Structure 1
Amino acid sequence: MTAVPLVDLTPWYAGGPAGRRQVATDVDRALCEAGFLLVTGHRVGTGVADRLCREVRQFFALPPARRARLACFSGGRGWVPPGVPAAVDPDGRGTPPDLRESFAFGAERVPVAVAGTAEEEWYGPNSWPVEVPGLRPAASAFAAACSALAQDLLRVAALALDLADDFFVARCSGETWTVDLERCPARQEVGTVAPGQLRVGPHTDVGTLTVSDRRPLTDGLQVRALDGGWVDVPSAPGALTVNAGDLLARWTGDRWRSTPHRVLPPPVEDPTEELLELAFSAEADPWTVVERLPTAAAGPTRYEPVTAGRFRRSRTDSMTVG
């Protein structure tokens, strides 16, 4: 793998079988080789993301004491302040704290299937800043648009693996998701950068698909290639970044890669560069049993069946929290 590919979804939405098959083939190749791709021709309007960027910048501009009212641990809902210890990276090494802060929210409505069970923990009320009343509606609109895109991509994934069109969407209803709005301050703000310290340390994502809007597009995002080296993720106007998570990789018997990725430290040559990323993470319904797929395309798997909720819990329990 030498580059993260760009896939135009326009033929998928045009509806022709040849165009849909080509999109599915391109997505399959990208997830096999890189685990990442950029998508254009999607239906997430730029105005939706632009509006959310404006609102969340107002939140991050609040005095620290006001943001602290919504403080939470990594993986929670609310404000994760700078300096929270990074999780152990995929190589098992501890890393210095990431040079970022974030605001997180997720699905609130509890599905009937999990009401009163342990899986209810994946749902619940979000915390919103009263000082930025426009954040909640802007964030909700972005989440809804990304959820619809994720459902479309899961149908693409089903075609790529010669599964029934609704195989994944029937098990990933769109009711379980999280959004992380991440800000990486400029070098002039963070000051000294410790050896090995990054804006975002090496990690993989937990769920099925992550859809990200990156600002600016040239943001230092890198993915680990098959040879162990790091490859820059390119940019394209209007494109969103999509990557497979650990659960989807497990589901496909590792046909598709959940690729370690990182974001480089703030550049010395541009001390005013600040990054903003809007990341939507789609999750399988927690009661879904993830097991060998009924298709030859995925091949055998070395994994035992597990529910999506139990898998997610095993990952969050291993996280380092602040």
Structure 2
Amino acid sequence: MPSSVPLVDLSPWFAGTSEGRAEVAGRIDQALRESGFLLVTGHGVPDELRHRTRELAREFFALPEDVKQRYAVTVGGRGWLPPGVEANGYAEGTETPPDLKESYSAGADTRTGVAEVDGFWFQPNVWPHEVPGLGEAATEYMRRMRALADHLLEIFAAALGLAQSHFTRHTGHPTYTFNINWYPPMTHVGPPAPDQFRIGPHTDFGTVTVLDRQAGVGGLQVCTADGEWADAPFHPEAFTVNIGDLMARWTGDRWRSTRHRVLPRPRRHPTKTSCR
């Protein structure tokens, strides 16, 4: 059965020819109508930066818990999100066990001068002194990913027959977030409770999400148009991209904001389960 998550090479868009740009925009329109998810290559983000950010993050998550606790925050804060503080299933109004993960959270920190806004959306990023270089690498990574997100929004506009700046004219001061997720081994967290996941079923709420997945881990599933959970494909050079509820609403639901989840452990054999 072919994957419901297509692979799109962005190189023709960046090459700048009208034919290449039209082809990329058309493929992305089809992907977001049918799946809401796609893989993108030709994005221009250096592999070395991706690998360095991941390796430095691993050093942080390997620190003793009492050291990580110095950077502990709750959801919405900047720093370490310990095990048990987040349950994504609640986003759908469903009471679920906490997600089986830890995260390090950062994001936009260019303040507006409005205390009520800055206090939540533009908190200063905090980086662990115990892992020199993580802050520098992650900040550069965020800069490159922010630029890629804007390029994707330009492609989205073209795919909808709109002016290229239709979305990006509103993203000069975005409230983006950046989460580094660590999924501890099951030997560390123990057997999952009923309906417990690495990340519980949910849709994203914003415009566009760009996910850099680790090779060989698996577990990400998306809800297909037929209402079945399907394993998301992986490509070592690709980012996984999906849209959120806001972008779907902006398109009059032409594009899908698709439910997704991360299984506690990859399945050994494919089985069909409903996600409706």
When normalised by structure 2's length, the TM-score is 0.91
1:249 CA drift (Å):
1.1
CA contact (8 A) 2:199 2:262 kept: yes
Number of the residue aligned with 1:118: 116
**Residue-by-residue CA offset, 1:126-148 (whole Å, 9 max, x unaligned):** 12111112110010011011111
Identity of aligned residues (%): 50
1:216 CA drift (Å):
2.3
Task: Give the whole-Å Cα distance in 1 for the aligned partners of 2:194 and 2:207.
Answer: 33
CA contact (8 A) 2:108 2:122 kept: yes
**Residue-by-residue CA offset, 1:81-116 (whole Å, 9 max, x unaligned):** 1122514456532111111000000111114xxx22
When normalised by structure 1's length, the TM-score is 0.78
The one-letter code matched in structure 1 to 2:117 is E
Number of the residue aligned with 2:165: 166
Which stretch of the first structure deviates more once superposed, 48-57 or 183-192?
Answer: 183-192
Number of the residue aligned with 2:264: 265
Number of the residue aligned with 1:54: 55
Number of the residue aligned with 2:272: none
Number of the residue aligned with 1:302: none
CA contact (8 A) 1:211 1:243 kept: yes
Task: Give the whole-Å Cα distance in 1 for the aligned partners of 2:146 and 2:235.
Answer: 21
The one-letter code matched in structure 2 to 1:248 is M
The one-letter code matched in structure 2 to 1:225 is T
Number of the residue aligned with 1:30: 31
1:56 CA drift (Å):
0.6
**Residue-by-residue CA offset, 1:51-101 (whole Å, 9 max, x unaligned):** 101111111011101111111112321111112251445653211111100
Q: How does 1:169-180 map to 2 (within 5 A)?
A: 169-173=168-172, 175-180=174-179
The one-letter code matched in structure 1 to 2:246 is L
Which stretch of the first structure deviates more once superposed, 212-221 or 101-110?
Answer: 212-221
Number of the residue aligned with 2:213: 214
SS in 1 for 2:205: coil
Q: Provide closer, same or farther for how the CA distance between residues 16 and 54 of structure 1 changes in structure 2, counting only shifts above 3 A.
A: same
Q: How does 1:129-208 map to 2 (within 5 A)?
A: 129-173=128-172, 175-208=174-207
Task: Give the whole-Å Cα distance in 2 for the aligned partners of 1:227 and 1:91.
Answer: 20
Number of the residue aligned with 1:11: 12
CA contact (8 A) 1:78 1:126 kept: yes
**How many residues are treated as equivalent by the alignment?**
266
Number of the residue aligned with 1:274: none
Number of the residue aligned with 1:303: none
Q: Provide closer, same or farther for how the CA distance between residues 178 and 90 of structure 1 changes in structure 2, counting only shifts above 3 A.
A: closer
Task: Give the whole-Å Cα distance in 1 for the aligned partners of 2:74 and 2:114.
Answer: 24
1:231 aligns with 2:230: yes
1:268 CA drift (Å):
8.5
Task: Give the whole-Å Cα distance in 2 for the aligned partners of 1:75 and 1:234.
Answer: 30
Q: Provide closer, same or farther for how the CA distance between residues 223 and 150 of structure 1 changes in structure 2, counting only shifts above 3 A.
A: same
SS in 1 for 2:211: strand
SS in 2 for 1:231: strand
SS in 2 for 1:170: helix
Number of the residue aligned with 1:106: 107
Number of the residue aligned with 1:312: none
Task: Give the whole-Å Cα distance in 1 for the aligned partners of 2:50 and 2:250.
Answer: 30
SS in 2 for 1:226: coil
Q: Provide closer, same or farther for how the CA distance between residues 234 and 70 of structure 1 changes in structure 2, counting only shifts above 3 A.
A: same
Task: Give the whole-Å Cα distance in 1 for the aligned partners of 2:266 and 2:27.
Answer: 33
SS in 1 for 2:169: coil
SS in 1 for 2:213: strand
CA contact (8 A) 2:92 2:202 kept: no
The one-letter code matched in structure 2 to 1:37 is L
CA contact (8 A) 1:2 1:225 kept: no
**Residue-by-residue CA offset, 1:146-178 (whole Å, 9 max, x unaligned):** 111111111101111111111111011264311
- Mark the runs of 5 or more structure 1 residues left unpaired by the alignment: 270-322
Q: How does 1:303-314 map to 2 (within 5 A)?
A: none
